[in-house]
Amino acid sequence: MGIVTNITYDTFPKQHERKDQEVLVCFHYDTTRTIVGKVVRDDIEAPFEMIILLEDGRYILSSECMWRPI
């Protein structure tokens, strides 16, 4: 658990324009097996997290996969 100064009950980091856009995701450099996802969070300030909702319902961090815009 941690504390991020700009995430509070009523504040949140500014989001990139990529938020809500669809992306194509693959794992372990295997571009022959991809899955569509939607960017649900993409911070442009601390803590600089990007979260993707995959079409099968899983949530992943951008650091756990490779992705590109569709």
Bridge partner residues of 15 (DSSP)? 43
Q: Whole-angstrom Cα distance, residue 37 to residue 66? A: 11
pTM over 0.85? The answer is yes
DSSP calls for 32-56: TS-EEEEEEEEBSSTT--EEEEETT
Query: Tens of pLDDT along 23-65?
Result: 999 999 999 999 999 999 999 999 999 999 999 999 999 999 9
The domains of the chain are located at 22-69
